Structure 1
Amino acid sequence: MSDEPTSAAAANARAPRPKPAKAEPAEESLDAVENGVSEASAEELIADLVEAERAREAEEEAIAEAAEAADEEEPLEDEEPTPASTASRRLAVLGSPIGHSKSPALHRAAYAALGLDWSYDQLDVSEDGLSAFLDGLGEEWRGLSLTMPLKQTVIPLLTETDRVAEQTGVANTVLLDGDDISGFNTDVAGIVRALSAAGLEQARYVHVLGGGATAASALVAAAELGAERVDVHVRDLQKSVWLEPLAHRLGLMIRLRSFAQADRSLDVPQLVISTLPGGASTEALYTDSTRRKAVLLDVAYDPWPSVLASSWQAVGGRVVSGLAMLAQQALLQVRIFVSGDVLQPLPDEEGVLEAMLAAVGIDAEGAPVGDGSVEGEAE
C-alpha cells in the first residue's frame, strides 16, 4: 500500500488555503489626515467656529450700541442738566395791576441766555378771576409768576406746595405739569440772596414794615438770617395778627407795633425790611444813627429811590433795592420752570444771572447801572 493519504479530507488538509481578498479602502479612509479627522469634518468644525465668532462679535456690537444709546439718553451726574423740554412753552406773570412788572424783562433775558424759545408775558388777573384763568390753560403752559394780590389767593387752588409756601401760606410761583399745579415761594430765598450779595449774611434783630403777604416771607427770611427778634410795624394791628403764629413756629420773638413806634427803642435793628407798596406813605421814622447802622431792603422799586431809601442814602446808610430781590427770586423761578427743582442750578447760572441783571439795569448788589433809571413796583 502506498503511504500517501488518499482521502479527500487529507487532500484538502494538504492544499494551501487561499488568501482573503483585500478589501477596497473606504472613501473616508482615502481622505484621512494625520490627526485622524477627515477634511470634511475639519471644514465643518471650522465653519462652526467662524459662525460662533461672528455671533460673538454681533452680540458685542449690539451691547456697545445699547450702551452708547443709554449714554446719550441719560447724562452723567457731573454733566449739566438739560431742560425737560426745549419745545416752545408759555409763561407769564399775573397780578392786578401788572403793567409795571419787570418780570418779563428778567425772564426773557434768562430764556434767551439758555437758548430756549419760551415766551413770557404779563397778564392782568384779579383775585376773582384766578381760578377760571388756571382752568383755561392749555398744555403749552409751563409756569406762572404771581404778584399782588394773588400770592395767598392761589394757595387753595394748588395740588401741592413746597415747604416755604406751606410755611408762609404764600406762593409767588406756579409750576404747571399735566394735571399738577405746584406752588413755590421764592421770595424768601430772593430776600436772603439779595442781602447776601450786598454783604449782609446775619441779622439778630430785624424790623419789618407792613403786614401783607410779603411780610410773611420777610419773617422766614429773618429766621434764616439768624434773627431772634422781629418787630413788625403796621397800620392796622388787627389785620396783622395772622403773622404771630408763623413767627412762633419759626422760634422768633415778635412784636406787632404801629408805624409811629418804629424807632422808639434803644436797641437798633441790624436790618429793616420794608414790604410796603411803591409810593405808600408811612409814619415810620428812623433816627440818623439807626439809618447809618441798619441795612434797609425796600422791596418796592417804583418810584426809586423811595422816600425811605432816600432818607437812608442821605446819611450814607446801606440800601438794597427791591429790584435785586426780584432778580434773585426770578432766577429761582427759572430753575423751577426749566427743571422742576428749585435746588437744581441752571447751566452757566452765573451767566444767566448776569443777563437778567443787565436786562433791568442793576448790578449784583441791586445798585442801578447805566443811566441809573429804575422803574417798577414791588411784586
Structure 2
Amino acid sequence: MINEKVLRIGTDDNNIYYLDDENGYWRKALTLFDGYNDANKIANNIGIKNAEIHFFIDGINKLKDKGFLLVLDKKFTNEKWFERYRSNIFYFNSDKINGIDFQNKLNKISVLIIGVGGGGFTILSHLVSLGVENITVIDFDKVDLSNISRQVLWGEKEVSRDKIDVAEDYFLNKNSKGRIRKLKCNIESVSDIQKYVNDVDWVFSCADDPPYKMQRIVNKACYIANKPVLFSFCQKNNGRYFFMDPAKSGCVDCLFVGTVDEKWYNFILALKNSNFVPQTSATSYTISLLCSIIIQKWIILLQDGKFNNWITRLDFDTLSFTKVTEWYKQKNCPTCGDNNITDNNLLSFFKLMGNIENNDN
C-alpha cells in the first residue's frame, strides 16, 4: 500500500502496478482472491453495488493481463497440488502465460536423460522440482570418488552405486507418485536407445563419450522419432549447449557438414590417434550454473517454441553468452538429407566416427 487511496501491486522493480483504491475495495478483495470465491461473491462480500460491479470486473481483468492474478474457469479444487507447485505457478504466470496451465504442461511432459553424471543428474534434479513426473534415465557407469566434488547432491554413500539407481532414489524421494524408468546401457548405436527416444516428448543428451559419435547417435534417434533434443558440454571455464528439432531446424550432422574442414578433421584425427583422455575440469558450481541456464532456456522454449540454430557458449568467468557456431539444414546431410557427400574431409570424418546404426563397429 502506498497510501490509503493507492495500492502498489508487485515487489519486482520491473513489474509494478498501481491501483486506485479510494473506497478501500481492493484491500478487502485481495484477501478473498483464493481460488474458491468467484467475482460476484467477492464483490458482494466487500460491498460493491451491482451498478459498480463492471468496474470491479475491469480491474480484475487488468490484474490478470499484467500477470498479477490467476483467473480460473472453475473453483479451485486440488489444494495439495497447488500448494506443492505454488512458487512455480506464480513464477510462470505472466501477461502471456497462465501459470496453472503451464504447470500442468510440465507435469505431463516426458523426458529422457542420457547420462546422469554431474550434468545429467543436475538436470534431473531441476526437472523433478519443476514437476516433470515421467523421466527415463540411461547410464552404464557407477559413481566414483571424483564425482562427489562436482555434484552437490551426491555424498560418500553413493560411491560405487550405479548412477541410474541413485537417480531413481532421488526422483522417488522427491515425487513418490511419479514414474521413472532406468536403463543400464553403454550406448554404441542408434538401436540401443531408439525405443526410449520414441516414448518421450524431450531428450536431454548429457553424455559425451565417445565424443562426436555419441552426439551423432542421439541425433539420429531423435531425427527418426521426430523428437526435440538438448545437447550440453561443460569445460574448464565455459559451458556450451544447443537445442535442436532435428526434423525441422537441421541436425547434428548438418552442423558437422557445415563446419568440418581439413584443419578440424586433422585435429579430431590426431586426438583419436593419440588415445588422449582429457581430464574433467569442472566444479559443482560451474555445472550447476550451466544446468540452471539450460533449464531456464528450455522453459522459455516450451513457452514460445522458438529454436535457435546455434551453439551458445556461457563463459563462467564473465557470465557472458556468445554464439559459437551457427548451422543450417544441409541438403547432403547423412541423417536428414540425401547423404550425397563428396568432400573428402567430410567423408573421412564420418568414416572416422564409425558406424552408428548397429553394434557391428
Q: TM-score range by the shorter chain?
A: 0.3 to 0.5
Structure with the greater relative contact order (CA < 8 A, sep ≥ 6): 1 or 2? 1
TM superposition score normalised by structure 2:
0.32
Which structure: greater helix fraction? 2
Kindly name which structure, 1 or 2, has the bigger radius of gyration based on alpha carbons. 1
